[in-house]
Structure 1
Amino acid sequence: MATPSELHGLWTVYQKFGSGKVSWVRLFEPSIKLALNGFPVSSHLAFQIAQKEEQILAEPSLKRTFVDAATERVYEEGDLIKREHLGFTLQLIANSSDPVQLFYKGGVAQTIVAEVQEHGGYVTLDDLSAYETLIDEIPIENDNLLAGELSMCGPAPPSSFAITQSIVAVLSELYADDTENAIDTNDALFYHRIIEAEKFAFAQRSRFGDVEFVADALKVAQNMTNKSYAQWIGSLIKAQAQPSDYYSLNYSTTYQVSDRGTSHVSAIDRDGNAVSCTSTINQILGSMRVSPTLGIIWNDELNDFSTPVEGDNLTFEMNFIEPGKRSMSSMSPMIIYKKSTGKVRLVIGADGGSAVISSIAQTVIRSILLNETIKEAIDAQRLHNQFMPHQTLYEQTFPKELVDVLSDQYAQNMTATEQVSSVVHALEVRDDGFIHGNCDFRRHISTYPCGF
């Protein structure tokens, strides 16, 4: 378990950037109501806890939370589930004049430390009280999209925004001369280029890490936003797929982070301010422990670090565990805006492990380069290649004739999957000024467009 940080970040941002029109308490009310009164188990939640039923039944804290006492089985779709302890904790936080003091230094902090240490964990009061949210006023930014009309911006490493935007940038440069003509989505070359751009992008992840600890990480990220970098990568894409060594650009083999217990929210307010916010506890159900007092599911973020292994030259030194260090993540929250006016064009993010990167990139490519609606862009079939392993996953609905051409003519190693695991949530502002939102159908949950 890593030091819980989300509340600290949310309070810091609320204090610094809040409009003053919405109280801190008001922000918690919907979640408190759901936790105390109960909510129906969605098909997605039912599937996830069914997959982990054996582990849930074996862990008392999870069993109390996710098992129906009447059946002694995990809850099923449509059952009503309550999170009363979590609801009471949220009430404490919502009504506190200083939630950071409460959670990181006060009574909640003492409860956290006592529970974690009782179960062999290492979180201390010093860890909690010393935590600080870092505010970077200068985001990583690529202002070359659509011949400089649009800018993509997002956070520095340890996020993977720089990786994600580079895929978009390469495709933007490859089709820079086709702005007057529609890009042919029935042409396998289009998808070959996406796959190759993904390989080059993912191969650079081994150079990334927390910018406070990895000296060159920020420079590498900034370099990947340069127009010349995108043009260079585009020039390296050959008529056929190449051996893995070709994509590493003389750097070490990449390490892949698997963070799947992730959530994303995209929001735009009436004044045009936008937020793209992704949070995670790493794996689904995190550390597989629930606080019996607070109702919080504890994270397993330490698993996002790389661990030295004797004799293994593929370990990722940039991401080794150090005190105060933030682990690498696939999270890639992004905002795209018009350079000339500063007005938001697209707010986007996703959850779902390493596929976050390829899924956001392909959605942006379709929305911005192909001018598809945000629903068309999110719903479209996806490809995912994370460089290692040496394969491209394609959703089963992807046209077979294109898969055959990619395999036979372009030498891509294609592997079918029911769906690429990432779930994208986005808001776009069209030329008419209306905001259009879409939540990914891949979540298998009844929902409304995010932001509304």
Structure 2
Amino acid sequence: MLPKSPPWRHCPLLVPLLLLVLLPLTSPSDLPADRPPPAAIGRFGNRVVAARRGVVATDDGRCSWIGRNVLRRGGNAVDAAVAAAFCLGVVSSASSGIGGGAFMIVRMASGEAQAFDMREVAPIKASQNMYAGNASLKSSGPLSIAVPGELAGLYEAWKRHGRLPWKRLVLPSVFLAGKGYKLSKYLHFQMTQISQSILADRGLAGVYATESGSRLKRPGEICRNRKLAVTLAKIAFNGVREFYNGSIGRELVRDVERLGGILTVEDLARYRVRVREPVSAEIMGMKLIGMPPPSSGGAAMFMADQTGRWNQIDDHGTSHVSIVDGERNAVAMTSTVNYYFGARILSPSTGIVLNNEMDDFSIPSNNGTGGGNADVPPPAPTNFVRPGKRPLSSMAPTIVLEVS
């Protein structure tokens, strides 16, 4: 169940006006004032760290910093994961964000473990043959957009396990989006892979291109997404209903409809997170805890004892968060908008980058579809499009424990 709306949600101008007043005057307490947090790591550099009171690992050092500060302020691993996920949706928006979906494994120190399935689902108007004649429509553009689930899942995990107030976990990302952040090398690399798509989309170009729109911004230049800042501020103060049953959702749907998409406000209102028992296995003296279907958690465990003999390849995967707090509560979360910048659409009204998760469905036949791509799965009836259905996924967040 989503929370009841607070009374101020009926004053839609209040939060944006407060935000515009606060942004020029205030810097978030969750971002250090003495020196900037480390920029993106991953394939452009990495570090090995050890700690006694908790560890936060994300795609971008700024988000790890925010997660760490949540732990320092009395939050637990779930609180830190929520805050870090919101941050990644701002500074690593090519890979994740509230316009996409995720899988999260939570293992509390008590031994309780839960799998949060916040995977996107097919819209109500979707059908098995909707891409007949042009399979490329499922890989980008308005018809590739599935119903986002990450935000609902973050709230559900926080509601069950979080300690700190919800708004304290969201506000650092409000300031990042509104005041601006330095473009990381890795986000710039992702941008260069689809540069023409970014320049062609009004929303994406407004954030990631220069003011003239002639070129992409370069590493170290400032990106601002003020529309996303207002969206996140509404979510911080009014809750997730503003997205699934309120003004954010209505604006988002209007943007998609103008482009020819089929997402509806009913799709958003119907979305539900699935919370289930994780799958588990003991391998080589370790206990692995992972996601059940539609995740590939079972397949990942099957392969776990084989991977040691292979060299690791350069990783171009999606976004991931791993956190352990001082009490030994642990979270593993993999989030995505699928391809770089998902559907290659940023909602100009909300600042949200939208997923292209419909591409993870199979289609009855690739013959004569015209414009198919190499990533289209072979026909698999169990993965055909159906309204409200979750597509299969290769994502498999996993927590590894010593059996002893």
SS in 2 for 1:153: strand
Computed over aligned residues only, the root mean square deviation of the Cα atoms, in angstroms, reads 2.4
Deviations along 1:37-93, one digit per CA (max 9) or x if unpaired, are: 111111112222222222222222222121111572110111111111111111110
SS in 1 for 2:273: coil
Structure 2: unaligned runs, 5 residues or longer: 1-144, 369-376
Query: Is the alpha carbon distance of 1:25 and 1:291 closer, same or farther for their aligned partners in structure 2, counting shifts above 3 Å?
Result: same
Q: How many residues align structurally? A: 251
1:59 is matched with 201
The 5 Å alignment of 1:385-400 reads none
Query: Is the alpha carbon distance of 1:150 and 1:108 closer, same or farther for their aligned partners in structure 2, counting shifts above 3 Å?
Result: same
1:9 is matched with 153
SS in 2 for 1:142: strand
Does residue 134 of structure 1 match 2:274? yes
**Shift, 1:306, TM fit:** 0.9
**Shift, 1:170, TM fit:** 4.7
Equivalents in 1 of 2:362, 2:235: separation in Å?
A: 33
SS in 2 for 1:166: helix
Query: Is the alpha carbon distance of 1:104 and 1:260 closer, same or farther for their aligned partners in structure 2, counting shifts above 3 Å?
Result: farther
Query: Is the alpha carbon distance of 1:71 and 1:127 closer, same or farther for their aligned partners in structure 2, counting shifts above 3 Å?
Result: closer
Deviations along 1:111-139, one digit per CA (max 9) or x if unpaired, are: 12222112111111221111110000x21
Q: Which of 376, 385, 395 is matched with 1:331 structurally?
A: 395
1:158 is matched with 294
Q: Is the 8 A contact 1:11 1:100 kept in 2?
A: yes
Does residue 24 of structure 1 match 2:166? yes
Structure 1: unaligned runs, 5 residues or longer: 173-189, 196-258, 341-452
Q: Which of 85, 94, 118 is matched with 2:258 structurally?
A: 118
Deviations along 1:149-188, one digit per CA (max 9) or x if unpaired, are: 421010111111211111123578xxxxxxxxxxxxxxxx
Higher relative contact order at CA 8 Å, sep ≥6: structure 1 or structure 2? 2
* AA partner of residue 80 (structure 1): I
Q: Is the 8 A contact 1:28 1:94 kept in 2?
A: yes
Does residue 40 of structure 1 match 2:182? yes
Equivalents in 2 of 1:300, 1:260: separation in Å?
A: 17
The 5 Å alignment of 1:46-125 reads 46-70=188-212, 72-96=214-238, 99-125=239-265
SS in 2 for 1:318: helix
2:360 is matched with 304
Larger Cα Rg: Structure 1 or Structure 2? 1
The 5 Å alignment of 1:427-438 reads none
Deviations along 1:304-351, one digit per CA (max 9) or x if unpaired, are: 1111116699412221111111111121100011334xxxxxxxxxxx
TM-score with structure 1 length normalisation? 0.52
Percent identical residues: 35
Q: Is the 8 A contact 1:56 1:62 kept in 2?
A: yes
Query: Is the alpha carbon distance of 1:292 and 1:165 closer, same or farther for their aligned partners in structure 2, counting shifts above 3 Å?
Result: same
Does residue 315 of structure 1 match 2:379? yes
Equivalents in 1 of 2:388, 2:146: separation in Å?
A: 10
Equivalents in 2 of 1:171, 1:102: separation in Å?
A: 44
* AA partner of residue 3 (structure 1): V
Q: Is the 8 A contact 2:365 2:379 kept in 1?
A: yes
**Shift, 1:108, TM fit:** 1.4
2:347 is matched with 291
Equivalents in 1 of 2:237, 2:221: separation in Å?
A: 30
Q: Is the 8 A contact 1:261 1:282 kept in 2?
A: no
Q: Is the 8 A contact 1:260 1:282 kept in 2?
A: no
Query: Is the alpha carbon distance of 1:261 and 1:83 closer, same or farther for their aligned partners in structure 2, counting shifts above 3 Å?
Result: farther
Equivalents in 2 of 1:262, 1:169: separation in Å?
A: 23
The 5 Å alignment of 1:221-260 reads none
Equivalents in 2 of 1:75, 1:171: separation in Å?
A: 38
SS in 2 for 1:68: coil
* AA partner of residue 181 (structure 2): F
Query: Is the alpha carbon distance of 1:171 and 1:293 closer, same or farther for their aligned partners in structure 2, counting shifts above 3 Å?
Result: closer
Deviations along 1:214-266, one digit per CA (max 9) or x if unpaired, are: xxxxxxxxxxxxxxxxxxxxxxxxxxxxxxxxxxxxxxxxxxxxx96731111
Equivalents in 2 of 1:42, 1:65: separation in Å?
A: 14
SS in 2 for 1:167: helix
Q: Is the 8 A contact 1:261 1:281 kept in 2?
A: no
Query: Is the alpha carbon distance of 1:286 and 1:171 closer, same or farther for their aligned partners in structure 2, counting shifts above 3 Å?
Result: closer
* AA partner of residue 341 (structure 2): L
**Shift, 1:140, TM fit:** 0.8
Q: Is the 8 A contact 2:201 2:346 kept in 1?
A: no
Equivalents in 2 of 1:279, 1:171: separation in Å?
A: 23
Equivalents in 2 of 1:269, 1:81: separation in Å?
A: 31
SS in 1 for 2:355: coil
2:55 is matched with none
* AA partner of residue 7 (structure 1): L
Which piece of structure 1 moves more, 100-109 or 63-72? 63-72
Equivalents in 1 of 2:330, 2:260: separation in Å?
A: 41
Q: Is the 8 A contact 1:150 1:338 kept in 2?
A: yes
Q: Is the 8 A contact 1:142 1:151 kept in 2?
A: yes
Query: Is the alpha carbon distance of 1:4 and 1:150 closer, same or farther for their aligned partners in structure 2, counting shifts above 3 Å?
Result: same
Q: Is the 8 A contact 1:261 1:280 kept in 2?
A: no
Equivalents in 1 of 2:307, 2:333: separation in Å?
A: 25
Query: Is the alpha carbon distance of 1:337 and 1:65 closer, same or farther for their aligned partners in structure 2, counting shifts above 3 Å?
Result: same
